[in-house]
């Protein structure tokens, strides 16, 4: 079911400008919300069960509490908005940046009040030149209208920071390292739950769509948000469809909707009247699902997990019956090989090995030993690195081999059999 919460202004001409945005309700959540205690706002977010929409799906309210309650001698806290949207197949956050940046800014003001922050950084993918220009213009307008800076709305400052094109900086700790001026390497994770830290001070990192969902929840209440979706996956998500689909694009849909119905009804079905072969459901890092299983898949975190995949960012890559799965995996592994930051040996060497082995399959020079090497590399990468880059790559390999092993075997030289 299509719903418009974060996308309600997407079809309004010039809604990215503050005057048009104000005419259609922008910043209306501030007056009533900012008079409430920060903990009261965090409790509403917890009650709504808002889940992070950047791929992991973690409970947003719990992260807010960690940042708000983390001890700090200076009293300084930060909100960092992750707009480093570099996952292949994912192009939803840029819709918010381009079509309703003031919704994001409103969410930033509210979130900063809820966690006790005065400064926010929006870390944007460097290649998003057009969207960065629109976002920076919106930030300037918000300052000019008194929503940001020294004002009654909490004296919040917002800085737009351009990334330098590293996919790994979408990982929150690598993003912070980059923001601090260091190389974008993920940090070791603590043994107990705690906030992230920016220059030693507590920081909350959420992605664009997560923060853009906050004004609706705080203005309308947790129950209004939970009226959509499922019990465990409430609300909506911006689902992006690309590939062999008649109506590619970004559509806001409630969680729990049938994936097959979404592809056929909203997506208009497969191009050129061909049959569906498979779907990568949540951006390139989520395991592939073959067509015969899609009819039972619902678009929520729990359903995708039960099919050995993940909802991820909701970036659905649609593949028709003519898709060569060997070449598709080679394309993905070339990306992972190129984008590995190189900090962890299993990832640095494993992505290289996997990419080179896949080239042998593409060239039809592979042997059964190469197939076992690919499986072995996948096992070596999984769970033995600092961040989830290598495990995600491993999951992608396993998904293709689990469902389409026959196509890989077909690439093995007959004399090698």
Q: Is residue 2 part of a domain?
A: no
**Residue 190 sits in the same domain as residue 246:** no
- In this prediction, residues 222-242 reach a mean pLDDT of 97
Share of the chain above pLDDT 90, in %: 96
CATH code at position 316: 3.10.20.600
Q: Is residue 6 part of a domain?
A: no
Q: Which of 47-51, 191-195, 245-249, 287-291 has the lowest mean pLDDT?
A: 191-195
**Residue 59 sits in the same domain as residue 205:** yes
pLDDT tens string 297-318: 999 999 999 999 999 999 999 9
CATH code at position 73: 3.40.50.11540
**Residue 55 sits in the same domain as residue 159:** yes
Statement: residue 359 has pLDDT above 60: yes
Q: Check if the beta carbon of residue 117 is closer than 8 Å to that of residue 78.
A: yes
pLDDT tens string 86-117: 999 999 999 999 999 999 999 999 999 999 99
CB-based burial, 209-243: b 16+ in 10 Å, e otherwise: bbbbbbbbbbbeebeebbebbbeebbbbbbbbbbb
pLDDT tens string 330-341: 999 999 999 999
Sequence length of the chain is 417
**Residue 82 sits in the same domain as residue 151:** yes
**Residue 167 sits in the same domain as residue 136:** yes
Q: Check if the beta carbon of residue 163 is closer than 8 Å to that of residue 126.
A: yes
DSSP 191: S
**Residue 191 sits in the same domain as residue 209:** yes
pLDDT tens string 165-176: 999 999 999 999
Band of pLDDT at residue 414, cut at 50, 70 and 90: low
> Tokens in use for 311?
């909802």
**Residue 315 sits in the same domain as residue 329:** no
Strands 201-207, 78-83: pairing kind? parallel
**Residue 195 sits in the same domain as residue 208:** yes
Domain boundary among 320, 339, 356: 320
Beta bridge partners of 206: 81
Query: Which distant-in-sequence residues (6+ apart) come within 8 Å of 221 by Cβ?
Result: 44
CB-based burial, 250-267: b 16+ in 10 Å, e otherwise: bbbbbbbbbbbebbeebb
**Residue 112 sits in the same domain as residue 214:** yes
Rounded to the nearest angstrom, the gap between the alpha carbon of residue 45 and the centroid of all alpha carbons in its chain is: 19
DSSP 298: B
pLDDT at 192: 87
**Residue 201 sits in the same domain as residue 95:** yes
**Residue 147 sits in the same domain as residue 206:** yes
Q: Is residue 70 part of a domain?
A: yes
**Residue 311 sits in the same domain as residue 331:** no
pLDDT tens string 238-271: 999 999 999 999 999 999 999 999 999 999 999 9
CA nearest to 27, candidates 83, 82, 109, 96: 109
Q: Please count the structural domains in the chain.
A: 3
pLDDT at 417: 43
Is residue 268 left, alpha or beta, with left meaning phi > 0 and alpha meaning psi from -120 to 50?
left
Band of pLDDT at residue 191, cut at 50, 70 and 90: confident
Domain boundary among 296, 320, 344: 320
Give the domain extent around 296: 236-320
């Amino acid at each position: 079911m299509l719903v418009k919460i974060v996308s309600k202004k997407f079809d309004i001409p010039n809604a990215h400008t503050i005057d048009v945005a104000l005419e259609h309700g922008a910043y209306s959540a501030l007056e009533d919300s900012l008079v409430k205690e920060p903990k009261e706002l965090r409790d509403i977010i917890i009650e709504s069960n808002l889940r992070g929409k950047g791929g992991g799906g973690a409970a947003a309210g719990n992260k807010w509490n960690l940042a708000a309650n983390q001890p700090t001698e200076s009293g300084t806290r930060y909100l960092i908005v992750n707009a480093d949207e570099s996952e292949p197949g994912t192009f939803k956050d840029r819709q918010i940046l381009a079509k309703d940046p003031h919704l994001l800014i409103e969410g930033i003001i509210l979130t900063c009040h809820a966690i006790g922050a005065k400064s926010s950084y929006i870390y944007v993918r460097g290649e998003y030149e057009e969207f960065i220009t629109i976002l920076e213009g919106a930030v300037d307008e918000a300052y000019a209208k008194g929503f940001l800076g020294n004002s009654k709305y909490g004296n919040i400052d917002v800085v737009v920071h351009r990334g330098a094109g590293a996919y790994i900086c979408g990982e929150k700790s690598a993003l912070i390292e980059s923001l601090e001026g260091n190389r974008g390497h993920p940090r070791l994770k603590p043994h107990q739950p705690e906030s992230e830290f920016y220059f030693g001070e507590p920081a909350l990192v959420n992605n664009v769509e997560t923060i853009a969902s906050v004004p609706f929840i705080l203005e309308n209440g947790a129950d209004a948000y939970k009226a959509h979706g499922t019990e465990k996956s409430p609300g909506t998500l911006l689902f992006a469809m690309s590939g062999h689909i008649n109506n590619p694009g970004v559509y806001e849909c409630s969680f729990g909707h049938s994936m097959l119905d979404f592809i056929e009804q909203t997506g208009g079905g497969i191009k050129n009247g061909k049959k569906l072969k498979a779907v990568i459901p949540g951006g390139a890092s989520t395991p592939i699902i073959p067509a015969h299983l899609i009819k039972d898949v619902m678009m929520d975190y729990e359903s995708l997990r039960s099919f050995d995949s993940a909802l991820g960012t909701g970036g659905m890559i649609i593949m028709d019956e003519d898709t060569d799965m060997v070449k598709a995996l080679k394309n993905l592994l070339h990306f992972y090989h190129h984008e590995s930051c190189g900090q962890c040996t299993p990832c640095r060497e494993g992505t290289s090995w996997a990419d080179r082995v896949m080239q042998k399959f593409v060239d039809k020079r592979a042997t059964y030993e190469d197939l076992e090497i690919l499986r072995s590399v996948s096992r070596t990468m999984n769970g033995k690195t600092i961040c989830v880059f290598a495990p995600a790559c491993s999951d992608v390999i396993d998904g293709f081999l689990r469902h389409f092993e026959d196509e890989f075997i077909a690439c093995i030289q007959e004399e090698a059999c």
